[in-house]
Structure 1
Amino acid sequence: MESCDYVNSLTHNSETPLYFAAKNGHVRSVRLLLKESADANLKTLDLACPLFAAVEGGHQEVVKVLLRRGAEANGQRNVSGWSCLHQAAYRGHAGIVRLLAGVSSLEPLDDYNITPLFLTAQYGHSKCLEILAEAGANVNCQATDLATPLLIAAQEGHLACVEALLRHGANPNLYCNQDQWQLPIHAAAEFSHTRVLERLLEVTERECERSEGKVSPLYQAVLSERASTLTPLLNAGYNPDAQPCFGYACPLELAIEGSYRCSDEGVEIVRLLLEAGARVSDKAYSLALRCPQLLQLVLQCRGLPTEKPARQSLAQLAVAEVDRAHCWLPLLLRAGIEPTLLLHSSLFEEAVEEVLSFFLEFLNWSCLPQEIQNILSRRQDVSSETTMKPLEGIPPLAHLCRLQLRECVGSLRLADRSYVQRLPLPPLLHHYVQFSDIYTKHCNSAGTLF
């Protein structure tokens, strides 16, 4: 048997002696086997060849020897469709990438149309990326799902790769999904890579900000659940009232819905949007009513709606959350909502007695609508130990006076401390006309009912 038969003998997986020598970086063995006519291009059952094995192991000298002796650098080199250049890019072997870039195709595609340059961006190998880009590789290539190297680098937070791609002409405004809205800036915002986001803000067009069919990156920033991601976008002037997306009328709705657990980051995101001027929609109010911390934040930053129809709408939303009335009722009343807007039969029928006892302190119970009085009477009849204020008789004169004052100046004005201080009243009465004694009696430090 000739020597070439021995040097090309196969294992059960079709590996040759040359394959093992290349895989383990044994340069002398590789040279000897090649001298004895070993086939440099025989593939294993998984389509790997000696050159691929050497590349995977980062054995640069072996790669040089194999290339000089006729190893084929192009073509599929494993079952996923990767070439040797794919593998070198994936591993980040810059020296080998440079060698292969001079002798092989720069744009081989795997099963997902991913190129070697795409892999360098995905895995943060900026030096390899520079080599391929300088050799002429396409920095705007797109995978099967239309993702670009710039998108994947932004998603993974590889700032050096983002910088290299932009220097070599990567387009930050190339849409990266079939729906034509996702840009690299969205990926940076969603995955909370703040430095990458700040860099992309400099070069990304603002079409995505409010245009129909597009998505403001503010939504991705909210999804990141990191306030630090939202700040650069707001500082750059992105409108907090972005276009409706993902079933939400605005980013604030998404932020409030995602903040039910009231994490510090979630609350801060809501605060940032409110301070930037975000409009509070009915859905946002409805969501906030379920969490006292968020409702208090909304009221502090925005206050109650100034138009009475809007306050009426808010009152209707509140009454629909009657099981949470112990949270929202004190906050809305302290903010200045008119108690008469909350005179709904469902509130008096379904709220617990502690809530009704508190609410009645803000009313002239002798003048309640007959329907409400009937409900309260029925509840008193079936309750063995009621905490509700007796409905017989006339309220104290001092209480009637502050009710009359509220009717004259309005609940919103009376909720304003600076306005009350300008009234021709003794300072001792300022707290009284704002019902502070009632809040002290019924509410805890969080502003909700005991």
Structure 2
Amino acid sequence: MDFTECYGDTVSSVAVAARSGCRKRVRRLIKRGFSVDCRDNRGWNALHEAAAAGSEECVQEILSAAGAGSSRSCAAYVNSLTHEGESACYLAAQRGHLAVLRLLLKAHANINQLTNDLSCPLYAAAVDGGHKEVVELLVSKGAEVDRTHTASCWTCLHQSVYKGHSEIVRILVDVCNLEALDDHKISPVFVAAQYGQQQCLEILVNAGANVSTQAADLATPLLIASQEGHQACVDFLLDHGADPNLACSHEWPQLPIHAAAEFGHIGVLRRLIAVTDRVCDRGDGMVSPLYLAVHSHQSKSVEMLLKEGYSPDAQVCSHILGVRSPLSLALSRTSNEPCSESVGLLVAAGATLSEEDWIYALATDKTDLLQLILEHRWIPLQETLTRDCSVPNHRGKSVLKLQELRELLCVALNQVHFAACWLPLLLKAGLEPSLLLQPHMLEQADSEVLNYLLEFVNWSNLSPPLKHILDRRRAEKTWEPRPHLDSIPCLSHICRLQVRSVLGPDLLMRTNVVQQLPVPSPLHVFLQFRDIPEATYTHSAPSSPLSDRIQGYSSTHQHRHVL
């Protein structure tokens, strides 16, 4: 603000002349008796104006006039403060006026005078202006270098590092406390790492600063540099002994690799993967970085961690994060949206599917998740269901484990309302349909769904209890069978059931093996059951959010023993 315009009547004539740097006019006014100590509405006098303007000659004239009485009065004048607590020394240092500053120091200016906001000449010169020569002068004259100057207790070294004044940092490291801490126990090294001031970081560390210092919350310089994605700082810290396995949180053992994964800094993450102890991946009481990557939707981080061998299942983190697996977390964050890329990466990597995960796939009329799962996972043959089939399939895809299949069937039988959506996908993916011929399915399934399921079996040799259910539903008019379901299956249907039994439903339904059979090509569609019309899903009631249905399922479902 230009106070000569807004408050012209409060600025003395000498001050106006000093501001313009006109020595002759200043001298003439002083000789005519004008005061050098008349203050404006900011508390500024002529010396403040001359110092701020950097007018060495005007400062000399004003100091000579002020010293005409006594040295005591001159010292008091040279240290007079504005309403903001700024001295002429402060104003000159702040603006880098080296020659003026020398004059003021010679006149016994207080080198350590604090302003109202706790700044001082050294802080102003080192921080706001980056004036190297001024800093050198002040340090040589004995300026206090370790005093705190902000409400956060930052020293000149903290702030010069933050500003990136590397030449000034180079001066200060020889005289300052390298481990000075602010109110959060943050050291200058931490500040350099946080703001990516690599050159300042190197100066500090080479001067002996601790690379593994920890703040009040246990965060380290390596953690904060990883969080902010400062690759060069991360590399330098690791090369100079920073510990990547030092826990950086009171709540759980957070490591720098977690920060890199959470914020998607791939280059940093790659470097940290190579040096971080893998106990964080599966160890009890630890948290895999996969959780952080999934939580923040950093699919590139998820992809890299999986590629480098981190387990898609990780450890159960119910007690820390409230989720049992990275996949459960990924699904909960996209429950009402299309599957995220992270979900696809985890499923493709072989993440174990829990009962809760199957709910996301089956308790909805949207089939994208189920299609994704079936794209990467194979349903085991019925004769192998007595053992755990976790070996890779010949096509490089993993086979559903026995427990996964059990939980799939349990959820499916509790979500019969959505069977029109999931049943065709499961049967075409090779699920043995007899596994779904359970009393609950036959009692609850929609008429079209029930007809579709029966088309995949020999409906004439169902067990008496199941036939009884069908007869009752027909009598109650809750099931209207397709006409041919009242008859014994034709020979062609019996034959295709036998073909499926020999080949296995997975190979028949999911590969081109049928095209290699010595049968006419028009029969391929028939042999793969693609001639059967699918049931249509109808909304019988307003659909509640999936998260609500999952919660309701968890509290009310019955576990159905199907294997």
- Shorter-chain TM-score range: 0.7 to 0.9
| TM-score of the superposed pair, with normalisation by structure 2 | 0.70
RMSD (Å), alpha carbons? 3.1
Q: Structure 2 CA distance, aligned partners of 1:46 and 1:154? A: 33
| From 310, 332, 335, the counterpart of 1:257 | 332
Q: Does 1:320 align with 2:418?
A: no
Describe the SS at the equivalent of 1:415: helix
| From 5, 10, 15, the counterpart of 2:86 | 15
| From 354, 359, 367, the counterpart of 1:281 | 354
**Residue matched to 1:448:** none
| From 170, 181, 188, the counterpart of 2:242 | 170
**Residue matched to 2:371:** 296
Matches within 5 A, 1:355-374: 355-356=449-450, 358-359=452-453, 361-362=455-456, 368-374=466-472
* Higher alpha-carbon Rg: 2
Q: Structure 1 CA distance, aligned partners of 2:75 and 2:417? A: 86
| Cα distance change on mapping 1:249 and 1:369 into 2, 3 Å | farther
**Residue matched to 2:202:** 130
Q: Is the 8 A contact 2:500 2:508 kept in 1?
A: no
Describe the SS at the equivalent of 1:119: helix
| Cα distance change on mapping 1:119 and 1:419 into 2, 3 Å | same
Matches within 5 A, 1:37-436: 37-57=108-128, 58-179=130-251, 181-245=253-317, 246-260=321-335, 266-267=340-341, 269-289=342-362, 290=364, 291-306=366-381, 307-308=384-385, 310=403, 311-343=405-437, 355-356=449-450, 358-359=452-453, 361-362=455-456, 368-375=466-473, 377-378=475-476, 380=478, 389=482, 393-394=486-487, 397=490, 400-401=493-494, 404-405=497-498, 408-409=501-502, 411-421=505-515, 425-436=519-530
* Cα drift, residue 189 of structure 1: 1.1
Deviation digits for residues 233-279 of structure 1, max 9, x if unmatched?
23322233322123444323333333446667x23x33333343333
Q: Is the 8 A contact 2:190 2:221 kept in 1?
A: yes
Q: Structure 1 CA distance, aligned partners of 2:477 and 2:82? A: 88
* Cα drift, residue 435 of structure 1: 1.3
Task: Name the amino acid aligned to 1:288.
Answer: A
Q: Structure 2 CA distance, aligned partners of 1:402 and 1:443? A: 28
Task: Name the amino acid aligned to 2:302.
Answer: L
Q: Structure 1 CA distance, aligned partners of 2:281 and 2:116? A: 51
Task: Name the amino acid aligned to 1:435.
Answer: F
Q: Is the 8 A contact 2:459 2:489 kept in 1?
A: no
**Residue matched to 2:66:** none
Q: Structure 2 CA distance, aligned partners of 1:21 and 1:395? A: 105
Deviation digits for residues 343-395 of structure 1, max 9, x if unmatched?
456656666666456445445666553234434654549xxxx8x74697327
Q: Structure 2 CA distance, aligned partners of 1:400 and 1:288? A: 31
Task: Name the amino acid aligned to 2:309.
Answer: G
Q: Identity of paired residues, percent?
A: 47
Q: Structure 1 CA distance, aligned partners of 2:291 and 2:327? A: 9
- Give the stretch that moved more between structures: 300-309 or 179-188: 300-309
- Give the stretch that moved more between structures: 15-24 or 128-137: 15-24
Q: Structure 2 CA distance, aligned partners of 1:204 and 1:227? A: 20
Q: Structure 2 CA distance, aligned partners of 1:33 and 1:324? A: 86
| Cα distance change on mapping 1:340 and 1:47 into 2, 3 Å | same
Q: Is the 8 A contact 1:256 1:294 kept in 2?
A: no
Q: Is the 8 A contact 1:22 1:30 kept in 2?
A: yes
